[in-house]
Amino acid sequence: MTEPAASEADQLAAALLAAHRTVQVIEGDTEARIRLQVRFLAICASLKLPGASRGRGLARLARLIADAERTGRRREPRGQNLFRRPNLVSTTGRFYY
């Protein structure tokens, strides 16, 4: 794997993790949260297809994160988060934990 491809793969992995965490901490409207989770799963499924565009996937994830942030208040995740990594940066430049 070349260096730019590895970097793009790392960006995609960070964006997937950031989107997942953003959707999981939405509080309030259950229907909106379910719709966002379905969108997230659709994005994940589309990225697995042969010939999938990573750039398009990153753009879709960025829109999903923006929509999730506009949807409702955020709550702290319950329990201990075993997947917590410090200094994880999303494609929008915000830090997600």
Please write the tens of the pLDDT for every residue from 20-38. 998 888 887 788 889 999 9
State residue 9's pLDDT score: 83
- Global model pTM greater than 0.75: no
Two structure tokens written together for 68? 């999730």
Digit-coded pLDDT (tens) for 34-90: 999 999 999 999 999 999 998 999 999 999 999 998 886 665 555 555 455 444 455
Lowest mean pLDDT, pick from 3-7, 11-15, 89-93: 89-93
Q: pLDDT band for 3, please (50, 70, 90 cuts).
A: low
Q: In this structure, which amino acid lies at residue 55? A: G
